[in-house]
Structure 1
Amino acid sequence: MRRLLTVAILAAALATKLAFAGTACETKKTDVATFVKAMTLAERTMKALDKSGAQVALIARVGQDLSKYGLRYSHMGYVWRDHPQGRWLVVHELNRCGTAQSALFDEGLGNFFLDDMHAYETRIVVPSPQVQQRIAAMLSSTTPLRLHDERYNMLAFPYSTNYQNSNQWLLETWAASVSDMPIDGRAQAQAWLKLAGFAPITIDIPAMTRLGARMFRANVSFDDQPFERRMAGRIDTVTVDSVVRFVHQRDPGSWEILVAI
């Protein structure tokens, strides 16, 4: 993605597009204003990343309005400068069109910010140089695939392997990157995270809301949550905020960049 605002990219972006990341699978067209905002944010983000000198970073977007839960950013992935397929590509897990399945994707910053943004801003966490090297090595290995579980649950419990959400995939692969012991599977990653003190975010979801979500959304389940907390409406899950807080605790040399339009 050497130049963002080109006729070819514009034509592709305005063409029919499928919605991912927790939304129902709809066929929709991107309007010009949305495209321009996404490309502007992508261009500013790329400049900020270049200026940072980073090799790899964690990048979050505001894909939906989570303010009623006290959250701002909804989704996070890795942004990798020297990705084999291009400069500054995002590596992340995405839900397949509101279904209970996910896959891993590599895509440019423009596409990353075209996915039904609620607000055009991004939060970037730049790890310390040593951790960046470990993450880049991890991304070059089979670890991202080994730690991916296609059984998607938007509110997956962090210490269960029944399901996985996109932020949980990032957290578990980050654990595999920084752990001094080999991590070959999700159970090992979660055991390390528990010992390291990872604390999920707790979201209050009443019983009727849970029932409606379970009945009408294939990508939301609650059966992996501890029974007593589930009955009390206390749902523990991996969010961008919980990941960022934990990363800063474990990597004091990490720092942040905020970009918005």
Structure 2
Amino acid sequence: MNRILQLIALLGLATSSLVFAGSQAGSKARFAPGEITEFAKKVEKYAAAQGARAFIIGRIGRPKKDLPKGIKFTHTAIAVYSAITLKDGGTVNGYAIHNLYQEAGKPDVSSLVVDYPVDFFWGVNELTAGIIIPTPDLQQRIIAAISSGKNKAVHNPAYSVIASPYNNELQNCTEHTLDIINASIYQTTDVKQLKANAKAHFKGQRIRSNPLKLMLGSIFMDDVATRDHQGKIITTTFSTIGRYLQENDLVQHMAVFNSDGSSGELL
């Protein structure tokens, strides 16, 4: 019995430190619907005021104390200014958010889902948004890539929260975002080429975790896998995407946007 209790305790430790980049849709709201709606509108207005037709958006889905060093946002997607069709058949202009989400009941499998800012922020732990607005030329390339289905061409439904950005064996939301960005930059959906370019030019985030926790996580959690890594565990994060674009002069604006309307530096 003691050994079973110890195993359960170890599993709890593994879970608390490894579930940091989950990409679930439809989580239970932690804030009042009005607060979420108001915040979502503020984010839209802020991005629009910066001239964003397309931007990378991040949210915080877990308490900051539970996030490993270097991880600030737990889900990443791309927002595109679009004509949105309403239930009554009318249209309004706003941001449609292109996500990679884990499938309900199948956490190791992902699907591509379009939702909107209120949906995106519905289950957040904190009303804070990460915003990376690429240069106008890259924005147009990203819009063209999504409208032509390149986001689907670079999607791999085999999901892991700690997927490596340097191969296509597994993928998470942030790596998928990076793949869309690189497909836009290099004008190709050749995954082999995209991964070679990522290896040459993109510096991911090393995840420092106890090997036992990683082993337990990979055994007991369907969405934790390390088989796509060789040696150190390195993954894509919202911040590493920001640094990558900044270092290559492909950023127009970056910020952390808060619920009170204030903004601060992302990196």
**TM-score bracket for the superposition, by shorter chain length:** 0.7 to 0.9
Change (3 A) 1:56 1:29: closer
Provide the aligned length of Structure 1 versus Structure 2.
Answer: 229
Q: Matches of 1:68 and 1:184 in 2, distance apart?
A: 31
Q: 1:191 aligns with which of 158, 181, 196?
A: 196
1:251 is displaced (CA, Å) by 2.9
Residue by residue over 1:15-53, the C-alpha shift from the partner in whole angstroms, topping out at 9 and shown as x without a partner, is xxxxxx73789x97546x442332121011011122112
User: Per the alignment, in what secondary structure is the counterpart of residue 215 of structure 1?
Assistant: helix
Q: Which residue of 2 aligns with 1:4?
A: none
Q: Which residue of 2 aligns with 1:140?
A: 147
Moved over 3 A (4+): 27-31, 65-68, 83-86
User: Per the alignment, in what secondary structure is the counterpart of residue 39 of structure 2?
Assistant: helix
Which segment is superposed worse, 61-70 or 135-144?
A: 61-70
- CA contact 2:44–2:94 (8 Å) conserved in 1: no
Write the letter of the residue equivalent to 1:251: D
Write the letter of the residue equivalent to 2:164: F
Q: 1:99 aligns with which of 84, 96, 107?
A: 107
User: Per the alignment, in what secondary structure is the counterpart of residue 114 of structure 1?
Assistant: coil
Q: 1:224 aligns with which of 215, 228, 245?
A: 228
Q: Which residue of 2 aligns with 1:245?
A: 243
- CA contact 2:68–2:207 (8 Å) conserved in 1: no
Q: Which residue of 1 aligns with 2:264?
A: none
Backbone CA RMSD of aligned residues: 2.2
Q: Matches of 1:159 and 1:132 in 2, distance apart?
A: 24
Q: Matches of 2:252 and 2:238 in 1, distance apart?
A: 15
- Taking only the aligned residue pairs, the percentage that are identical comes to 21
Residue by residue over 1:156-212, the C-alpha shift from the partner in whole angstroms, topping out at 9 and shown as x without a partner, is 111121111110001011001011xx42232221112223x1011001111210122
Change (3 A) 1:70 1:133: closer
Q: Which residue of 1 aligns with 2:76?
A: 76
Residue by residue over 1:208-233, the C-alpha shift from the partner in whole angstroms, topping out at 9 and shown as x without a partner, is 1012211221011011110xx2xxxx
Q: Which residue of 1 aligns with 2:8?
A: none
TM norm structure 1: 0.80
User: Per the alignment, in what secondary structure is the counterpart of residue 102 of structure 1?
Assistant: strand
Structure 2: state its 5+ residue gaps. 1-20, 86-92, 260-267
Q: Matches of 1:73 and 1:40 in 2, distance apart?
A: 20
Superposition pairs of residues 9-24 of structure 1, within 5 angstroms: 22=22
TM norm structure 2: 0.79
Q: Matches of 1:23 and 1:81 in 2, distance apart?
A: 22
Write the letter of the residue equivalent to 2:199: K
Superposition pairs of residues 198-213 of structure 1, within 5 angstroms: 198-213=202-217
